[in-house]
Chains A and B, each alone.
Chain A
Amino acid sequence: MLDIATLLGAGLLQAFEPLNLMMIFVGCLAGLFIGAMPGLGSVNGVAILLPVTFLVPPTAAIIFLAALYYGAMYGGAVSSITLGIPGASTAVATVFDGRPMAQQGKADQALTAAAVASFIGGTISVVLFTLFAPPLAVFALKFGPQEEFALMVLAFATFIGLGGDDIPKTIFSILLGLVMAAVGFDIISGQPRMIFFDFVELQRGIGFLVLAIGIYGIGEMLWTLENTKGEVRIHAVSSTWKSFKKNLSHVREYLPTTALGSALGFFVGTLPAAGATPASLMSYGLTKTFAKDPDSFGKGNVSGVAAPEAANNAASTGSMLPMITLGIPGSPTTAILLGGMIIWGLRPGPLLFTDRPDFVWGLIGSMYVANFVTVALNLALIPIFVRVLAMPFTILTPIIFILCFVGVFATTDRMFDVWLMLLLGLGGYLMRKLNYPVAPAVLAIVLGPLAERSLRQSLISSRGDVMTFFERPISLTCMLLALALMIYPIWLNVRRRRAGATSGTE
């Protein structure tokens, strides 16, 4: 316990170093802005801006990206409330009560509630993070390749069991990402694999950023263009110091809800397939179920804004727990962060705690500071963000496209990858329109090389005996959980069909 306090102290000190503190400010600000823009969320921001972070050392870079992740969770609420369009999928549940509140002229109250709830959610989850991360990392040190592989299977199984998307399409998306990761030279035999049409450029493989920026930059913008047609309507927000103080006095009304949502969000956030969006929806649902006045939800109940906002912030911190301790990202955004860490020359996983304590604790310390910075910036800048939201898409869209192009080129130095990004972005957009989930593919391309290596290492050491995954207790547990997750939706389907059949005969 004392160890943690010392390390955390060092981390906090590090967060206050001028460069890191500046990164927190810039990251929070960029995140708030990106989160508030309809169609752009944390994952888009992190993917598009990752190439720019090569300007600063890795610790400062991850602090920037983590702050951006954080800020985007706050920012999502702004457009949910003032536009009635979720700024990111994570803020969908905020629309339910945020929009009615704005229509009743209580937009400022909703925005304050969102900011305060986000702050509480962020703080509770970062404390949980600090308590859980070190023991989990120590535990994970015992992992061999079998456990690593089993854990990745479990991560992908959560998409099948909990993702809620069409199952064959989810499986396709996972496998596509894993296969794309195999392009290039084989790590063990050194043979070239899948060099399509003899493109020399493919020998270096397909970088995860090429796919991530293609899907979350190009594909996402095409999707947004189609769905919003660039039209938005803004609700007026008037905010004065007096109304602000009055709004803060309402905090007591939604405090219990917020605390519950925060804890829920943290744990849901650690699951790779779940993350902030389902966490916020679950938190909203639970709050409504247990409320004294469930009928008032959807008509502008302030708890309906606070609950999902607390949960989505807590989930963003929660999703970093498996990324830092196990090397398994808890969300698409952390998948990109993980890929970034590999580019920076760090090996994500439990060893990070012993090898690079400055990196890990600097990040944790920055999360505490980022929480205060974001809530302050958010409350202070609400009027400005509302004005920024009125920025026409004809300015934002080309800028995003240009950043995608320059960003991909800057990471790989090849126009080939830029064209590949364009192609993958278009493909991702067309597939997403048919309900193929894209997040599993991004997670898979990041984890693919690690998964293949751990599978082959395990099989070599067991001389080809697949039972090696079922003989060790931790890997057995992961495998059984994964199996259960994969069977669960099928069982659910069968049961539903049987129920349908019996009700049909009656």
Chain B
Amino acid sequence: MSTRSAELLMAAGLLLLSLGLMWNVTADDLHIGWVEGRGPGAGVWPFWLSGGMALASLWTLVRWFRGATPESRNKAPYIDGQSLGLVLISFAALTVMLLLVHVVGTYIATALFLGFYMRVIGKHAWRSTVSMCVGMVLLIYFLFEWQLTKYLPKGAKAFEDGFLWIDNFRWQYLM
């Protein structure tokens, strides 16, 4: 896709989004005008500002048709072909990691993600990969779970139960 088409698509998409937001405010039965005795209604702010967003998108569309923006004259690919692969694989790996968090929990998911990125994309040696993964997991556990007392996601029941062993160990011997 060229930058030119991307700008058209983006502006049209954002116009739709703005109109959708305006529709959403009215669909919720929020007042978009003055409410007698109470002041501006709850919908005033989001409705009229979304209206402004719609106008700004229209303005961009008009500028696109007239070729006023540099992007509308740019035929180069939207995302550089050489780095598209790297961007896609990074984003995909990140998405998979977040999905895994729901299943196997924070620690296993982050370790797998870091390991994949360092070993497969970065081609680092096994030793540095493994030590980074272990170090990262320990750092997160110490900083967030221990010091900030945050209960990070532990995934499915089986994995959550497994984690109790570690927490018990900490409470019994390290606190």
Contact = CB atoms under 8 A, between A and B. Distances in A.
Contact of B117 (A195, A398, A419): A398
A193 B21 contact: no
A415 B150 CA distance: 13
B46 A179 contact: yes
Given A55-B147, A415-B153, A175 B91 contact: no
B42 A189 contact: yes
A384 interface: no
Interface in B113-154: 113-114, 117-118, 121-124, 132, 136, 140, 143-144, 147-148, 150-153
Interface string A186-198: 1011011111100
Contacts of A342: none
A218 B97 CA distance: 14
B52 interface: yes
Classify the secondary structure of A's interface with B: helix
B108 interface: no
Given A409-B150, A422-B95, A52 B143 contact: yes
B67 interface: no
Contact of A175 (B49, B82, B150): B49
A415 to B, nearest CB: 6
A216 to B, nearest CB: 15
Interface size class of A (residues with CB under 8 A): 35 or more
A193 B45 CA distance: 11
Given A193-B30, A413-B150, A435-B70, A402 B24 contact: no
B12 interface: no
Contacts, number: 176
Interface string B22-52: 0011001010001000111111111001101
B104 interface: no
Nearest to A230: B86
Contact of B45 (A166, A402, A452, A464): A452
B172 interface: no
Given A193-B46, A456-B40, A395 B136 contact: no
Contacts of A459: 39-40
A169 B62 CA distance: 12
A464 B39 contact: yes
Contacts of B132: 395
A502 to B, nearest CB: 20
A401 B109 CA distance: 12
Interface residues of B, number: 70
B19 interface: no
Interface in B65-112: 69-71, 78-80, 82-84, 86-87, 90-91, 93-95, 97-98, 101-102, 106, 110
A430 interface: yes
A168 B69 CA distance: 11
A68 to B, nearest CB: 16
A371 B84 CA distance: 41
Interface string A388-414: 000010110111011001100110010
Given A401-B94, A434-B71, A227 B83 contact: yes
Nearest to B17: A176
A409 B98 contact: no
A433 interface: yes
24 contacts: A168-B56, A169-B56, A172-B57, A175-B49, A179-B50, A186-B30, A191-B30, A192-B28, A195-B28, A218-B94, A225-B90, A226-B80, A398-B93, A402-B97, A406-B152, A409-B150, A410-B148, A410-B150, A418-B98, A419-B98, A433-B6, A433-B78, A435-B69, A459-B39
Interface of B: 3, 6-7, 10, 14, 21, 24-25, 28, 30, 34, 38-46, 49-50, 52-53, 56-57, 59-60, 63, 69-71, 78-80, 82-84, 86-87, 90-91, 93-95, 97-98, 101-102, 106, 110, 113-114, 117-118, 121-124, 132, 136, 140, 143-144, 147-148, 150-153
